Chain A
Amino acid sequence: MKAVGSRLLQLIVLLGTISTTLFLLLRLSGDPAILLAGEGASPETIDAIRADYGFDKSLLQQYLMFIWDIARLDFGRSLVNSQPALGFVLQYLPSTLHLTFLAVFFNSIIAIPAGVWLGAKPTQRRRKVLSTIVSVAQGTPAYVIGLLLIQIFSVWLGWLPSIAGTGTWAWVLPTATLSFALAPNLIRVVAASVEDTTRQDYYRTAKANGAAPNVLLIKHSLPNALLSTTSLLGAQFAFLLSGALITEYIFAWPGLGLILVQSITNLDFPTIQATVFVVAYLVFIVNLIMDQVFRLADPRLRRSQL
Chain B
Amino acid sequence: MSQDSKDLVTPITRRKMFKSKNKSLATLRISASILAALFIIAIFQPFFYTVDPAASDLTLRLQSPSLDGALLGTDALGQDVYSRVIAGFRWSLGIGTVGTLLGCLIGITLGVSAAWNRKRLRIVLSRVIDIGISFPYLIIAVTIVTVVGRGFWPLALTLGLVCWPTIARIVYAETLTLREREYVTAARLFGIGSIRSIFTHILPALRPTIQVVAAFTFAELLIAESGLSFLGLGAPLGTPTWGNMLNESRLYMESAPWMMFGPVTAIIVTIFTANLLGEGLNAREHSRSTRVSQ
Contact = CB atoms under 8 A, between A and B. Distances in A.
Given A135-B279, A143-B246, A144-B264, A264 B130 contact: no
A53 to B, nearest CB: 15
A261 B233 contact: yes
Nearest 3 interchain pairs by C-beta: A139-B272, A242-B136, A25-B147
Contact of A25 (B128, B133, B144): B144
A255 interface: no
B21 interface: no
Interface stretch (A13-21, A89-97, A187-195, A298-306): A13-21
Interface string B173-217: 000000000000000000000000000000000000000000000
A280 B135 contact: yes
Contact of A245 (B142, B146, B246): B142
Interface of B: 127-128, 130-131, 133-140, 142-149, 219, 223, 226-227, 230-233, 246, 249-250, 253-254, 257, 260, 264, 267-268, 271-272, 275-276, 279
A8 B142 CA distance: 24
Contacts of A279: 136, 139
Contact of B136 (A29, A140, A151, A241): A241
Chain B interface helix/strand/loop/mixed: helix
Interface residues of A, number: 46
Contacts, number: 116
Nearest to B144: A25
Nearest to B270: A139
A276 B260 CA distance: 31
Interface of A: 10, 13-14, 18, 21-22, 25-26, 29, 35, 135, 138-144, 147-148, 150-151, 155, 234-235, 238-239, 241-242, 245-246, 249-250, 260-261, 264-265, 267, 269, 272-273, 276, 279-280, 283, 287
Nearest to A135: B275
B250 A147 contact: yes
A260 B142 contact: yes
A29 B131 contact: no
